Structures are given as C-alpha cells and as structure tokens.
Structure 1
Amino acid sequence: MISALSRRRSAPALTALLAALTLLAAAGCSGGRSPEPKETKQPKQTTQPKQPEGAAQTVPPASPVTGGKTADPVSVTIPSIGVDSELMRLGLNGDGTVEVPPADRGMTAGWYTGGSVPGDPGASVIIGHNETKSGPAVFEHLGKLRKGAEIAVRTAAGTTNRFTVTGTESVRKKAFPTKKVYGPTNGRELRLITCSGAYDSEGHTVDNLIVYATLS
C-alpha cells in the first residue's frame, strides 16, 4: 500500500489531490452485479481525468496526517449493524485515484492514510465494499445506520476512539462532495464511504453512501 502523504503540499498539488479524491465514486463497488445475460466482470482501473464532471472547482487543502504509527487505526466496530473489521491502509493508485480494498477482501474495510488519523483533528475516512462478486461485504448494512449510532475505532496503541453518527448522505458519483468529505475541519470527524443505489448497464452502482460522525 502507498504510505501516508506528507504533511505539507504545494497549492497545485493539493488541488490535484482533492480533485483526484472525487474519483472515490468507485469506492466499495468492485465486483458489483452485472445485468443478464452479461458475464460478471471485475471493473478495470483506468486513468481518470483529474477534474471530472461534478468535481469541486475550488478545492480545499486535505486534512493533515497526524500521529505516529502507534496511533494508526487497526479496526472498526459498528455494533448496531454487526460490523467488526480489521483496517487495511489505503493510499493513492499510480494514476492518482484513491485505493479501495481489493475485491477478494470484501469483508475488510480500509483507512485512507491521506486524511487524519481517526480521533485526531480533521476528517478521517474509512472505505469499504457493500458487496463483491463473492456476495455481501463489510458495509452491506451501512445504509441502516441512524443518527446517534456508535462507531468505535481501535488504534495500534490499544486505545479506542468512539464516534457518534451525525447523519448520512446518498450522492451521485458524478457529483461526489469532495470538499465536504475531505476538506479541512476544526472538529475530530469520521466519514464512512461505500456504494449504493441502482445499477447501471455495466453493473456498477450509480451512487455513494456517506456516513458522517464526530468524536464522542
């Protein structure tokens, strides 16, 4: 996996990065259903434009990476929907798009290392599939989360940071709210992201589901 991004970036680099983060529209969708009679295929990762339709025109700096390896998150638990998953590290692909967990690890969520460490100031992001070709995945029931639900993130240091869900949002992938999800914040916030909604003709879901939470 790609290591955590540096704390300081030039303005052009930040703009390119946050535009690329808009491409998270693919998150959690690998191995989605394919319409009959087509054979189910693994979507190919291709180089995407850095400023796709729906991307924010003015992109804020990414939340800084804080804390050391001992503070890195190692697992996420959401009791109300039965989630108890280890966390893998996710960075950026070679083409600048955000990594997602591989389809053969559908029951494992991942922490995006380009954001904040969960529990530190800023926005931290955890990504997971809702299903793969093998069946239901770790965030299958993410849409059932309601305001007030608890999300617990355990760190390598043995501490647990508890977050409270403040809301959920379903968005079109072509209009992913990059600034809102990845932009700087004064709070200690967490976002969970997966795919949702109907399927297009290629068997890919057309929406993203975003869960917003703050440190309790």
Structure 2
Amino acid sequence: MKRSTLYKDELIVQIMGMTDKLQRRFQSEGVDEERSWMLQQTDNPAVISFLKRATMMMLHVIDAIVALEPVNGIRIASHLGIPRGSVSKITRKLVQEHVIQMEYLPDNKKKIMFRTTSLGKEVSKVHLALHRHVNMNVHALLNRYTPEQLAFLAQVQSDILNTSLVKEDLASIKDDPPPAAENPPEAMDMRQAAQEDPIRDLLDMLHQLDSANLSKAKDLLQVVFFAGHNG
C-alpha cells in the first residue's frame, strides 16, 4: 500500500474520532457550558431557577412561541421540525412552570393557543443572547481560515448532509473525487491552481513548442535523464 494511502487512512480515522468527540461534547459538555453562560447573564431568581431545570428543546420551544405568538402546537412543531407529541409534552411542562400560558380562540374553544408569560420572555431573552454570543464566536473562529479552506469545509458538510452513511455502499467507491461544491469562481480558480503539479506544468510547456523545438526538447530530455540508464 502506498505511503500516501496510509497517511490518508490515518487522517480519516483521526477525523472520525474527532467527529465522535465533537458529538459527545455538543450533547453533554456543550449543554452544561451553555447553561452556565446563561446563568451568568441574569440575576432574576425565577429565571435562574428555571434555567437550571430546563432542557435545550424547552428553550427552543419558548423561542418559537415568542416569535409566533399566539401560536398552536402544530405550527410550533412545523417551525422547529419536531414531532407534535414532543411539543405537547413540552408545552404542558412549560405551562406548569408558568413560562407560557394557554388561551382559546373565541370562535373555537377546542383550539389551544400559546403565549409566553413575562417569565418566558425573560428566559427567551437570555437564550437568544446565548445564540448571538455563540454565532459571534463561530464567525471569529472560521474567519481564521482562507476562503479556499472554508469552501472545502462547506463541500464536506454538504456531502455528509446529502449522503446516507447507512444506505450507501461507499466502501465500494475507491478514490473518485466527490462532485465539486458550488463555490465562487475565485475560490475554484485558486483551488485548481493549488492542485497543479510539476508534471502538468511540464506538459503545458511542451504543448507550447512547435515540432522542431519539441524534437530538440525530446533529445535533451533523453540525454539529461535517460542516458545513464542505457549503458
């Protein structure tokens, strides 16, 4: 097996390991880190008490209600892309916590609508501040990289999102490059230039010669590089 192939396999194993660590961090450490940040942004005892018990999905539901109120469970589920049953369980809990309140439409007593209470609005304010803070830090982090590196990262993310890692038999595909992502022309040109190798440069130079000079170049290459192998 070629050394480059071994190195590539090592990188793939490293990336897969890092991906697993990132997933665990976002699922556990990330939640605790975000909760800690939010608790430092308020001195309201009621908000602090609720944030200590709240899940991230509860906070997302509160944000959706703030943005859409008055709103019913069906629209909340559609807005967040989660099952209606999950919304029903969360809204019942939020009503008990006095973070949201229910109301009925005057012409339809069976249709329940939700609004946030003053406590809910304060909780949402802190949570949205967290999102702005995180987005600012993500932008600062990614700004360290070149446009070409960011274009490559975007391509990898797009490939992963659009590929089933369960259904697809990707192991049967060798080293064919993935389809190019849609990138700005400048980024594509620079990335293509970076991929050029000395062999391509040499071929481009040879193509520019006429037949007479090409024959001379052939003789010269024969003398310089191959003469020692003929004896």
Per the normalisation by structure 1, the TM-score is 0.20
Higher helix share: 2
Higher-Rg member (1/2): 2
Q: Which has the higher contact order (CA 8 A, sep 6+)?
A: 1
